[in-house]
Structure 1
């Protein structure tokens, strides 16, 4: 059998005769749950055969930047997940047409949520690799998917109770006392889930003669990135803040009070849950409620954002016994209740 040659006298490269695709049952999966997908393999050559067919499920965190003052390059990579699943247990011939291969794998409870930012990311992907009996029937494709770390209010019992926060800010002019601003914020709890509306009761007593301007309550995401130098035994950190929602309060005149029965802030649906991780985590996510006012007033309350609300315990229905007496049904966990 003659081998086709190109104009340079080299063996001509044949067009691929296979194509890979992936269909996910859901584009986003919770940690601790099963990722289900179907791998689609289209073959156009009756001589094609599979020698090896694998799916590699991986999760990687990356941080990196260049310090503009020292020109040092900082970058770090951290692996969260690496699972290899054979899609075909033994070599097989491929008839022309579409072939389907099922893929099921459990995502560990400990992995963090998917995240994208300027200085770092947490990404998950499925790499499908087909090794055939020839180069034109071999292929590699990478398909991304999203992970949301599963967390509940019940995991943080101290944050479920009602919380009252008080602070006093003393103003001085030329070392002389100029008055005090007293702030009180009441929250039903300090843990909230994605998509929830935070309802805060806020009271400001302005004991100074100055008007407090641009008063507002904000939900702020703080992201800490850590990376190590490429060439030296040194590390660098960056903290980036993103305002997720803001509630304007206006002005508070001197010697007056401001009482807001309900300041409402919403945790966005696309928000990422709080992630503290281990001491060596390269990406840490935390949230605060911040009160801002001019001139120079800023105070913060740490809060926690979870992916789900309370765990919901549902009682099993009573089952009749043979003698007509009802059996007592036990309780079992049935997912979580969203707020």
Structure 2
């Protein structure tokens, strides 16, 4: 059966524009400037820009299904939403490549990018072009990473030497079976990404039983919170990830184990500690954990920052007219990584 030509729709015209983005860096610190160049390729001399925008957004999402109740939990939290016009007024597009600069300051308060099974924190740049025709309009989304800026100086109580002691009593049929004494010494309880943690560990096994599989671990604890889709109820999940582990072996009964230097490394791809506000849906915290069999587990809370100490550089002294020296003030020059 033949179909009249006037009943057929007009064939869709192929796009005549393409969008791309070049970032000066794929990862930017909070509080610093995000610099990028938007590339617009045009192939039709009749193309024209009506509106050209870049939307910089940061969104946290959590969600899962409770397998026992079949309830769906999901929550979304916005951290960043900035709209920047790339073209101040309509303009014609000549064939070829056109470049548009983009500079945006990322707020100090935003959290780091994060990916997990039950939640994520993602940042993106949505570039939207509205042209004088459908074939010269386009939308593209480009992700980028944010690392929250934090320093040792922000946590003064954590930059002093720390000694931790614990005693674990063993009982058999309510009768005392002995005590395991544990002592861990740390130069401080705050460390930066990429740093090696050096701990001095002493274990005194006062029982007759051998402690097996002793190890010191750096553990990331992530707490997710989401609200029910249909009810006024919320649910929480806590996920643990071992970032590094230092095996210590066995400790025989009635003996001591003394390790001068247990070394754990904070991975370069680790995410800094993030406590956030009381309504945060994703909370990140770290602990140093000592494990041993049978049934020994103890933890020391530690903090991971993105940078080390703030570096303060004193200005040189300037002489006064009467020959006396003036004290120079300090200026913040950046951060010193360890």
TM-score by length of 1: 0.96
Using the TM superposition, give the Cα deviation of residue 60 of structure 1 relative to its aligned residue in structure 2, in angstroms.
Answer: 0.1
Q: Deviations over 1:195-238 (max 9, x none)?
A: 00000000000000000000000000000000000000000000
Pairwise CA RMSD: 2.9
Q: Identify if the C-alpha distance between structure 1 residues 182 and 308 changes in structure 2 by more than 3 Å, giving closer, same or farther.
A: same
Q: Deviations over 1:10-59 (max 9, x none)?
A: 453x1110000000000000000000000000111110000000000000
Q: Please tell me whether the aligned partners of residues 4 and 11 of structure 1 are also in contact (alpha carbons under 8 angstroms).
A: no
Q: Please tell me whether the aligned partners of residues 63 and 120 of structure 1 are also in contact (alpha carbons under 8 angstroms).
A: yes
1:188 corresponds in structure 2 to: 187
* SS of alignment partner, residue 135 of structure 2: helix
* SS of alignment partner, residue 6 of structure 1: helix
Using the TM superposition, give the Cα deviation of residue 319 of structure 1 relative to its aligned residue in structure 2, in angstroms.
Answer: 5.9
Q: Please tell me whether the aligned partners of residues 152 and 308 of structure 1 are also in contact (alpha carbons under 8 angstroms).
A: yes
CA distance in structure 2 between the partners assigned to 1:288 and 1:306 by the alignment: 13
CA distance in structure 2 between the partners assigned to 1:239 and 1:298 by the alignment: 18
Using the TM superposition, give the Cα deviation of residue 324 of structure 1 relative to its aligned residue in structure 2, in angstroms.
Answer: 9.0
Q: Please tell me whether the aligned partners of residues 58 and 82 of structure 1 are also in contact (alpha carbons under 8 angstroms).
A: yes
Using the TM superposition, give the Cα deviation of residue 323 of structure 1 relative to its aligned residue in structure 2, in angstroms.
Answer: 9.2
- What is the aligned length? 338
Q: Identify if the C-alpha distance between structure 1 residues 142 and 4 changes in structure 2 by more than 3 Å, giving closer, same or farther.
A: farther
TM-score by length of 2: 0.96
CA distance in structure 2 between the partners assigned to 1:15 and 1:121 by the alignment: 36
1:81 corresponds in structure 2 to: 80
Q: Please tell me whether the aligned partners of residues 205 and 257 of structure 1 are also in contact (alpha carbons under 8 angstroms).
A: yes
Q: Identify if the C-alpha distance between structure 1 residues 267 and 233 changes in structure 2 by more than 3 Å, giving closer, same or farther.
A: same
CA distance in structure 1 between the partners assigned to 2:91 and 2:98 by the alignment: 12
* SS of alignment partner, residue 184 of structure 2: strand
Higher alpha-carbon deviation: 64-73 or 320-329? 320-329
Q: Identify if the C-alpha distance between structure 1 residues 172 and 5 changes in structure 2 by more than 3 Å, giving closer, same or farther.
A: farther
Using the TM superposition, give the Cα deviation of residue 315 of structure 1 relative to its aligned residue in structure 2, in angstroms.
Answer: 2.0
CA distance in structure 2 between the partners assigned to 1:204 and 1:183 by the alignment: 5
Higher alpha-carbon deviation: 313-322 or 140-149? 313-322
Q: Identify if the C-alpha distance between structure 1 residues 97 and 318 changes in structure 2 by more than 3 Å, giving closer, same or farther.
A: farther
Q: Deviations over 1:254-304 (max 9, x none)?
A: 000000000000000000000000000000000000000000000000000
Q: Which runs of 5+ in 1 are unaligned?
A: none
Q: Identify if the C-alpha distance between structure 1 residues 176 and 147 changes in structure 2 by more than 3 Å, giving closer, same or farther.
A: same
CA distance in structure 1 between the partners assigned to 2:3 and 2:114 by the alignment: 49
Q: Identify if the C-alpha distance between structure 1 residues 219 and 5 changes in structure 2 by more than 3 Å, giving closer, same or farther.
A: farther
Using the TM superposition, give the Cα deviation of residue 316 of structure 1 relative to its aligned residue in structure 2, in angstroms.
Answer: 2.8
CA distance in structure 2 between the partners assigned to 1:109 and 1:3 by the alignment: 63
Q: Deviations over 1:126-174 (max 9, x none)?
A: 0000000000000000000000000000000000000000000000000
CA distance in structure 2 between the partners assigned to 1:100 and 1:4 by the alignment: 46
Q: Identify if the C-alpha distance between structure 1 residues 87 and 324 changes in structure 2 by more than 3 Å, giving closer, same or farther.
A: farther
Q: Which runs of 5+ in 2 are unaligned?
A: none
Q: Deviations over 1:175-205 (max 9, x none)?
A: 0000000000000000000000000000000
Q: Please tell me whether the aligned partners of residues 3 and 11 of structure 1 are also in contact (alpha carbons under 8 angstroms).
A: no
